[in-house]
Chains A and B, each alone.
Chain A
Amino acid sequence: MHPMALFPAFVAPLQSGLVPDGGRDEIFRAIFVVFLVLGTIVGVVVIGYMLYNGYKFRDRGDRDGEDGIDRPELGELPEGGGGGRKLALSLLLSALIVITLITWTYFALVDVETRAVENDDTLNIQVEGYQFGWEFIYPNGNTSDTLRVPEDRTVRLTVTSRDVFHNFGIPAFKMKTDALPGQTTDTWFQPNETGTYQAQCFELCGAGHSAMNANVSVMEPEAYEQWYANTTSDDAASGNATGTTAATAGNATTANNGTTPA
């Protein structure tokens, strides 16, 4: 459909080995650490150099002209100013660092993005935000206010909102996406340790925003299967979860991801 659609396929071979794979938290951590280390080095060097210059060239009270340097004068017309070479070099160096870093992370981005859509083995859950809470809708139509997922399986979330703009995030899994009324967004995560985690809202949505949380329970796969088998659709008439979402999302267009004017 679009030439760019081939792009992920094209870069996929390149990224093996270069970028951390695994859960999103691992990807995030690996990249964050690299940025933090490099960022600190660059910051310390540049600021250190500034301070050093500031000290080295502090005014020692020499009279003008003694050092043979031409100083600016009141009322002069500014010149273009030299130093272009030095600036260009510094710019090149910094551009190199920045562009390399970003390009590197871009492979991880492509990875994260493609995993949001790929894979038949994933568990699909719908998430609906409302003022002020979250509802999770399972393929069988069961709804719950706790997100229960099995360990070690990719969970794919389709997120929307019933009212205002929310944002659904689970900090522990480094996963976050907007919850928009009338639209859906897709995201995924892969929990690899059982336990209880917190999901939160990351977009100001009204008085209850600060406390708009939900529990996320990562279960042993068997326990999960058992729990899931015992749940039923809340809405007996419809085994079709998509129908439910569309109705609750204010009968606007759902899954219309391409609405941005390109």
Chain B
Amino acid sequence: MTDSSEPAPDGGYAGATDELPAATDEGGHATTESHGLPPYGSVKRWFVTTNHKDVGILYTVTALFFLVFGGVLALLMRVELFAPGASVLSAIGYNQTVSTHGLIMVFWFLSPFAFGFANYVVPLQIGAKDLAFPRLNALSYWLYLFSGLLLGVSFFQGGTFSGGWTMYAPLNIPTYTPSIGASTAILALVLFVASVTVSSVNFLTTMHRMRAEGLTMRRLPIFTWTILLTVWMMLFAFAALLAALMILSSDRLLGTTYFAVTSPGGSILWTHLFWFFGHPEVYIVFFPALGVMAETFQTFTGRRIVGRKWFIAAMVLVALQSFVVWMHHMFLTSINLQIKTLFMATTIGISLPFDLMVFSLIYTTIKGKVRFATPFLFTFGALILFIVGGITGVFLGAVVLDYQFRGTYWVVAHFHYVMVGGVTALIGGLYYWFPKMTGKMYDEFLGKVHFVLYFIGFNLLYFPMFVAWETPRRVFEYPEALTVWHQLATVGGFILGASFLVMFYNLTRSLVDGEAATGNPWAYSTTAEWAIPSPPPLENFPGVPSYRSGSLDFLGGSGATDGGEVTDGGAVVARDGQAHETGTQAAHAGEPESHASIWPFVLSVGAFFVFLGLSGLQEGSFVPGLAGDVYLALALVGGTITMGSFVGFGLEHFHAPTGPFGESWPFEAVENTKLGVWIFLASDVVLFGAFIGTYVFVRISAGWTGWELVPGDPIPGLMNTYLLLTSSFTVILALVAAEKKSRWGVIASLTTTILLGIGFLVNKGLEWNHLFHEGIAISSNVRTSTFFLTTGLHAAHVVSGLVIAVYLLARAWRGAYLDDERPIEYFGLYWHFVDIVWLFLFPLFYIL
């Protein structure tokens, strides 16, 4: 395969590794059916592609669509704010606009925009042919798109969510925001989080396991570093958000009472859950922008980043600290001075590494050959904006000042300087990588026009907000005296909007008849994506990328680069979609990788309908009348499609990149799928952690000792503990049997596991039924809510486990897993985890 002298890191498994544990095939059939990717021109290609570059383009284009969507909402607000008082929008309409503008910009635009580049560029920078799980990557994209469409639908269901992007409780429950569309918006976010989780698992596995030889963690390009840290933060932060959103959805759809006015501490509970996610989110959206700045500063100044090591260390520090500052959003709640002091200190602490990064970027320009091409204009400008945002942020860190700024336009101006400052850098990134992604050069003059308009528009829009800071946030009323500032802002907003028209014109024009771009249009760029043609061929590299010699070489291929040289000639350009079939790469792969699958798309369509259907739930039943029937039908149809596509996923022969890979620290000994399962479980730990933390919080608020346990009798719970423990044991037996190549052993152990799992569920069903007969329902009070929802979430995990187990059993029946028992091992990891969770839940809900 390669002339690498290293042993294959994954223990020398030849043959294809499929993405899902359940899908690993017995034989490793060399099927060709699934990698026949249609050419670029074909519409079908975009529905089936799993190639990271295509998915990157899909992300980028879709994110830009949401930028326009969120931007139009923003302009609507700016028109409304041209003068005090409601004129264009109704009061509730304004609240909906503020809320969805925030949600769309933060969730559906900013991160996905960055992940367009991450998808496209990161595998190239680390020397991977694709992500570890290409189909899951496509799935992330489609879930993202459909979650956004779901949000779009919510506008037409009696009005969308109107409680702000922070969704504070109890305004977020149906008592105060009754429209169905409000539920849909929350569900759309849940679907979005699903997309993020899948993508986090994928990126982490890829980046830890699939780096080119010689590309140790310390040597990773800074953009890749920023994405790595972003994804780690995402994995944990979004799990906390998922917990918050699941609880909120349950309050809205099932009638639990976590956030009801009568539940003690409901408001504060939400602020903890939300901001534990929310503060890391600030860095999640900003880090990729930082990465783009670092890359472009290096390229366009022709200098290496000053103190690169420290830059990276600073980012790692920020990523860790980001989880211990959340309460600075709660300085005005009833938290006491000691806690305020603590969080003031951590907040100041987290701001300092950023100073270092800013200085590092500035010093990089010294002795440079600075060329203000469009990408650099944007990232240079972004740094200026970020400095303003940072300085005004220090104001907020001083708690006495924060007391005043909270809820005013000071905050609005500050976070737009930071976040839209980040957007500015990402726009720079778009110009920077546009030639790589399309093979065409954009028009430099129009690019500069865009920048000038953008920069003027930006500052005219947001700077006056500092001056008019005494305007309360999220209102359309403000003191007359401030009118002129708001009018300036509105004018700025339109200039900013217009600047994007220039960009869209420029980029589409260039796409059609722009100059062809060489492989490396920028002098002094260093990273691997510039060493291959624009756009790169389907299999990316002309040989196996390696840094063993100290710089990038393509081993065993034709066009090896030895630094400096632009390698455009000679290599295949896959523009017409034909060349890839005959690419030189095929020679290197033991098994040709697949690049197409329809199931990610179909599954997401199914999920879309399921969630749309669920939005019709209120207090545990569908809304009355025809509408309710429609919602029910949608949920059922969606459910069928989803289940069907899971089966399709499982049965498809799909070949993900298998390695051997160059650098896999620190997971050399952990095979891709196993690592994926581990990472997923890590996020699940946070999910359950948040649920358990919530329970403890609610119980302390209500008085720990006065709390009556919901199940009067611990015996059913105890029985279930035994059942689960035994079933964990039988999974181990199944694994042992597979290693001993005993087909009947595998079948018998799996069957026992399944029976024990079913026993667990039946026992739980009886217990619940008993409680229901006593008049104890999920919606009775916050005690019953926490009990049913938390143990219900666990039961849902058991159900998913059983579905996988049944699938494994069916395969085992036909003799699978005797040569390769890994799927059973991975299932075991999950099953033991579910078991361990129960060991926490049982004492908490039945005994203490």
* A221 close to B (CB within 8 Å): no
- Asked if A59 and B551 make an inter-chain contact with CB atoms under 8 angstroms apart, the answer reads no
The one of A42, A67, A77, A177 that contacts B214, using a Cβ cutoff of 8 Å: A77
Binding stretch for chain B, among A118-126, A149-157, A230-238, A252-260: A252-260
- Asked if B363 and A86 make an inter-chain contact with CB atoms under 8 angstroms apart, the answer reads yes
- Asked if A169 and B475 make an inter-chain contact with CB atoms under 8 angstroms apart, the answer reads no
Q: A46-B362, A176-B406 are in contact. Are A206 and B470 (CB under 8 A)?
A: no
- Asked if B397 and A262 make an inter-chain contact with CB atoms under 8 angstroms apart, the answer reads no
A40 to B677, CA, bound (A): 50
Return chain B residues, CB-CB under 8 Å to A259: 264-265, 268, 334, 700-701
* B33 close to A (CB within 8 Å): no
A106 to B553, CA, bound (A): 56
Q: A43-B388, A74-B565 are in contact. Are A49 and B406 (CB under 8 A)?
A: no
* A182 close to B (CB within 8 Å): yes
- Asked if B170 and A163 make an inter-chain contact with CB atoms under 8 angstroms apart, the answer reads yes
The one of B335, B348, B562 that contacts A75, using a Cβ cutoff of 8 Å: B562
- Asked if B171 and A206 make an inter-chain contact with CB atoms under 8 angstroms apart, the answer reads yes
- Asked if A256 and B164 make an inter-chain contact with CB atoms under 8 angstroms apart, the answer reads no
* B399 close to A (CB within 8 Å): yes
- Asked if B95 and A181 make an inter-chain contact with CB atoms under 8 angstroms apart, the answer reads no
Q: A74-B530, A74-B561, A203-B407 are in contact. Are A80 and B168 (CB under 8 A)?
A: no
Binding stretch for chain A, among B188-196, B232-240, B302-310: B302-310
Binding stretch for chain A, among B56-64, B365-373, B439-447: B365-373
* B667 close to A (CB within 8 Å): no
Q: Using an 8 Å CB-CB cutoff, how does the interface string of A57-76 with B read, 1 for contact, 0 for none? A: 11110100001010111111
Return chain A residues, CB-CB under 8 Å to B337: 4, 7-8, 109-110, 113
The one of A50, A91, A207, A251 that contacts B384, using a Cβ cutoff of 8 Å: A50
Return chain A residues, CB-CB under 8 Å to B332: 167, 176-178, 185
* B94 close to A (CB within 8 Å): yes
Residue of B nearest to A99 (CB): B348
A81 to B309, CA, bound (A): 7
Residue of A nearest to B394 (CB): A98
Identify which of residues 295-323 in chain B touch chain A, using a CB-to-CB cut-off of 8 Å.
Answer: 298-299, 301-311
A253 to chain B, nearest CB (A): 5
* A165 close to B (CB within 8 Å): yes
- Asked if A28 and B400 make an inter-chain contact with CB atoms under 8 angstroms apart, the answer reads yes
* A250 close to B (CB within 8 Å): yes
- Asked if B266 and A182 make an inter-chain contact with CB atoms under 8 angstroms apart, the answer reads yes
- Asked if A39 and B392 make an inter-chain contact with CB atoms under 8 angstroms apart, the answer reads yes
Binding stretch for chain A, among B106-114, B351-359, B783-791: B351-359
- Asked if B344 and A102 make an inter-chain contact with CB atoms under 8 angstroms apart, the answer reads yes
- Asked if A95 and B307 make an inter-chain contact with CB atoms under 8 angstroms apart, the answer reads no
Residue of A nearest to B348 (CB): A102
- Asked if B391 and A84 make an inter-chain contact with CB atoms under 8 angstroms apart, the answer reads no
Q: A49-B362, A98-B348 are in contact. Are A4 and B551 (CB under 8 A)?
A: no
Residue of B263, B475, B520 ringed by the most chain A CB atoms within 10 A: B475
A201 to chain B, nearest CB (A): 8
Identify which of residues 96-148 in chain B touch chain A, using a CB-to-CB cut-off of 8 Å.
Answer: 98
Q: Using an 8 Å CB-CB cutoff, how does the interface string of A90-117 with B read, 1 for contact, 0 for none? A: 1100110011011001101110110000
Return chain B residues, CB-CB under 8 Å to A101: 394, 398
- Asked if A83 and B171 make an inter-chain contact with CB atoms under 8 angstroms apart, the answer reads no
Binding stretch for chain A, among B428-436, B521-529, B576-584, B762-770: B521-529
Return chain A residues, CB-CB under 8 Å to B845: none
A110 to B62, CA, bound (A): 49
A167 to chain B, nearest CB (A): 6
The one of B94, B355, B524 that contacts A71, using a Cβ cutoff of 8 Å: B524
- Asked if B403 and A176 make an inter-chain contact with CB atoms under 8 angstroms apart, the answer reads yes
A6 to chain B, nearest CB (A): 11
How many positions in chain B have a CB within 8 Å of any CB in the partner chain? 124
A107 to chain B, nearest CB (A): 9
Q: Using an 8 Å CB-CB cutoff, how does the interface string of A1-26 with B read, 1 for contact, 0 for none? A: 01010011000000000000000000
- Asked if B371 and A256 make an inter-chain contact with CB atoms under 8 angstroms apart, the answer reads no
- Asked if B564 and A74 make an inter-chain contact with CB atoms under 8 angstroms apart, the answer reads yes
Residue of B nearest to A258 (CB): B336
A247 to chain B, nearest CB (A): 13
Return chain A residues, CB-CB under 8 Å to B348: 98-99, 102
Return chain B residues, CB-CB under 8 Å to A32: 395, 401
- Asked if A163 and B261 make an inter-chain contact with CB atoms under 8 angstroms apart, the answer reads yes
- Asked if B407 and A165 make an inter-chain contact with CB atoms under 8 angstroms apart, the answer reads no
Return chain A residues, CB-CB under 8 Å to B399: 105-106, 109
Return chain B residues, CB-CB under 8 Å to A257: 334, 336
The one of B304, B406, B528, B561 that contacts A202, using a Cβ cutoff of 8 Å: B406
Q: How large is the interface on A (under 10, 10 to 19, 20 to 34, 35 or more residues)?
A: 35 or more
A137 to chain B, nearest CB (A): 19
The one of B371, B528, B702 that contacts A59, using a Cβ cutoff of 8 Å: B371
Q: Using an 8 Å CB-CB cutoff, how does the interface string of B558-590 with A read, 1 for contact, 0 for none? A: 000111111000000000000000000000000
Return chain A residues, CB-CB under 8 Å to B702: 253
Residue of A nearest to B170 (CB): A164
Q: A87-B359, A259-B265 are in contact. Are A35 and B394 (CB under 8 A)?
A: yes
A76 to B526, CA, bound (A): 6
Return chain B residues, CB-CB under 8 Å to A109: 337, 340, 344, 398-400
Residue of A nearest to B93 (CB): A207
- Asked if B264 and A71 make an inter-chain contact with CB atoms under 8 angstroms apart, the answer reads no
Residue of B310, B401, B477, B551 ringed by the most chain A CB atoms within 10 A: B401
Q: A59-B369, A78-B304, A202-B473 are in contact. Are A4 and B338 (CB under 8 A)?
A: yes
- Asked if A112 and B164 make an inter-chain contact with CB atoms under 8 angstroms apart, the answer reads no
- Asked if B171 and A204 make an inter-chain contact with CB atoms under 8 angstroms apart, the answer reads yes
Residue of B nearest to A103 (CB): B348
A109 to B651, CA, bound (A): 63
A106 to B398, CA, bound (A): 7
Residue of A nearest to B520 (CB): A74
* B621 close to A (CB within 8 Å): no
Return chain B residues, CB-CB under 8 Å to A185: 332-334
Return chain B residues, CB-CB under 8 Å to A112: 400, 403
Residue of B nearest to A112 (CB): B400
Residue of A nearest to B398 (CB): A105
- Asked if B168 and A209 make an inter-chain contact with CB atoms under 8 angstroms apart, the answer reads no
- Asked if B526 and A75 make an inter-chain contact with CB atoms under 8 angstroms apart, the answer reads yes
* B627 close to A (CB within 8 Å): no
- Asked if A210 and B91 make an inter-chain contact with CB atoms under 8 angstroms apart, the answer reads yes
B391 to chain A, nearest CB (A): 5
- Asked if B98 and A204 make an inter-chain contact with CB atoms under 8 angstroms apart, the answer reads yes
- Asked if A210 and B473 make an inter-chain contact with CB atoms under 8 angstroms apart, the answer reads no
A39 to B391, CA, bound (A): 6
- Asked if B218 and A80 make an inter-chain contact with CB atoms under 8 angstroms apart, the answer reads yes
A200 to B299, CA, bound (A): 50
A210 to chain B, nearest CB (A): 4
Return chain A residues, CB-CB under 8 Å to B307: 81-84, 86-87
* A241 close to B (CB within 8 Å): no
Q: Using an 8 Å CB-CB cutoff, how does the interface string of B499-520 with A read, 1 for contact, 0 for none? A: 0000000000000000000001
* B678 close to A (CB within 8 Å): no
The one of B171, B335, B547, B703 that contacts A260, using a Cβ cutoff of 8 Å: B335
Return chain A residues, CB-CB under 8 Å to B725: none
A4 to B335, CA, bound (A): 14
* A243 close to B (CB within 8 Å): no
A78 to B306, CA, bound (A): 11
- Asked if B306 and A87 make an inter-chain contact with CB atoms under 8 angstroms apart, the answer reads yes
B268 to chain A, nearest CB (A): 6
Q: Using an 8 Å CB-CB cutoff, how does the interface string of A180-216 with B read, 1 for contact, 0 for none? A: 1111110000000000000011111111111100000
B772 to chain A, nearest CB (A): 27
A79 to chain B, nearest CB (A): 7
The one of A80, A182, A204 that contacts B95, using a Cβ cutoff of 8 Å: A204
Question: Lowest 6 A-B CB distances belong to which pairs?
Answer: A75-B552, A202-B407, A81-B308, A83-B306, A210-B475, A80-B309
User: What are 11 A-B contacts with C-beta separation under 8 Å?
Assistant: A31-B398, A57-B301, A74-B525, A76-B550, A91-B352, A102-B344, A105-B399, A171-B404, A174-B403, A260-B272, A261-B700
- 6 extra A-B contacts, CB within 8 A, seeds A39-B392, A67-B367, A90-B359: A7-B337, A35-B398, A79-B304, A105-B398, A201-B472, A204-B168
